[in-house]
Amino acid sequence: MRKPLEWAWLPVGLLIGLALGVGYAWVLRPADFGGAEPASLQPVYRGEYILLIATAYQADGNLDRARSRLELFPELDPAVLGSLAQQVVAANGSEDAARGLALLSVALAKATPLSSMEAPATRSRSPSPRAVATENPTLALTVPPLPTATLKPTLPSTATKLPGYVLLSRDRICNPLITRPLVQVVIRTPDGKGVAGVAIRILWEGGGSTFVTGMKPEFGSGYADYEIESGKAYQVTLGDGLTVVRELSAPTCPGQTAVAGGSASAAFAGSWRLVFEKR
Amino acid sequence: MKRFVLLLAGTVIGVLAGAWYGWSVSPVTYTEISPDQLRPEFQADYVLMVAETYAADHDLGEAAVRLSRLGQADLAGLVRRTAEAYRAAGFPEADCALLLNLARDLDHSSTLPTAAP
């Protein structure tokens, strides 16, 4: 009866040793820490890192490099980037960063998925940011200057300065499928390509906000919209503040328009669609 | 005496097994880190991103604040060392030039914030 009791000291020692060994390996001398990946950053630094990727992309236009950097954050896809851009705008954060995120979101949505490391054969893969910016001028050169952060509408100060955008059309939209009145903005180049990353300032009495094209890539890279309230007058300002559309209020659409087949229904608030061309 | 030997043997085996488990099977993982705890290659890329952004916005103060997250007081030296490492590794000269440009401007500035706490 004494032998089994004596052998019991072995597992007791094992348990003590295991605890000591694990404690030593986890606390006193962890495995050689050569550093962590950006995905392990604290949320605040993680956000900064992602914004830095976007601003660096905006600066150099190197999509391959931006993509390989973003692959460190597996949860980031173009839609998430677009959402982040909206958050940055909503939080009055850096407009450069918001514009970079929006541009990146659109560029990635058009390009290969993030999970693919290899660039498509049709796109040259230059290691030089400068070279890529030259090869893909629409990314680097179509970004207009942003308006200054003022709530007051800015009028042209000199007769010689031309606006960067021209209003091509201003259409009332009476579409019952659009349940809430919107100001829809489409910005395109003279050859019809959408221009992403343009900040649009919308002002109303006692307030203002900014929204950016390209955050809803499903509607095109040059598309942006802003929900408005019925009965309020809005003013939209683009780029350098020289392009201004005033007196925008949700139009009243007749009920007949709302119902297919001609049966009557109540009138509803419509939307506006503004199409601009970037010079 | 035999009890002591058994206890000691068990402890030694346990320590070895525990250390093996803690180092190899389930090593410590790091979360919620700060930028200065990034792997060196990511720190270098971080510095490059700052230099790329600086080349576009010319905001030296912002660049310095971002670099200070890496926990080094000599920001210009940090950028210059990164440039040298990039050059040695065969990275494009354009990247090295961006870094050296930032390092030079940091050198010339005397009103920059010190390293972040």
Domains and CATH numbers, chain A: 38-141 (no CATH), 165-278 (2.60.40.10)
Distance (Å) from the alpha carbon of B30 to chain A's nearest alpha carbon:
7
What residue segments make up the domains of chain B, in order of their start? 1-30, 35-108
Query: What does pLDDT average to over chain A?
Result: 73
Residues of chain A neighbouring B9 (CB-CB closer than 8 A): 10, 13
Distance (Å) from the alpha carbon of A84 to chain B's nearest alpha carbon:
19
Residue A13 has its nearest CB partner, among B7, B46, B56, at B7
Tens digits of residue pLDDT in A22-34:
999 888 888 766 7
A223 neighbors A105 (Cβ within 8 angstroms) = no
Residue A25 has its nearest CB partner, among B18, B30, B45, at B18
| H or E segment and range at residue A210 | strand A207-212
B44 neighbors B82 (Cβ within 8 angstroms) = yes
Tens digits of residue pLDDT in B10-68:
999 999 999 999 988 988 877 888 899 999 999 999 999 999 999 988 988 889 989 99
Residues of chain B neighbouring A59 (CB-CB closer than 8 A): 52-53, 55-57
Average pLDDT over residues A187-216: 83
Residues of chain B neighbouring A17 (CB-CB closer than 8 A): 10-18
Distance (Å) from the alpha carbon of A252 to chain B's nearest alpha carbon:
45
The pLDDT of residue A265 is 65
Between B78 and A238, where is the model more confident? B78
Would an 8 Å CB–CB cutoff place A60 in contact with chain B?
A: yes
| Whole-number Å distance between alpha carbons of A59 and A130 | 10
| Exposure b/e, A112-122, CB count within 10 A at least 16 = b | eebeeeebeee
SS3 A168: strand
Question: Does ipTM exceed 0.85?
Answer: no
Distance (Å) from the alpha carbon of A132 to chain B's nearest alpha carbon:
12
Between A198 and A49, where is the model more confident? A49
Q: Residue B21 and residue A25: Cβ atoms within 8 Å?
A: yes
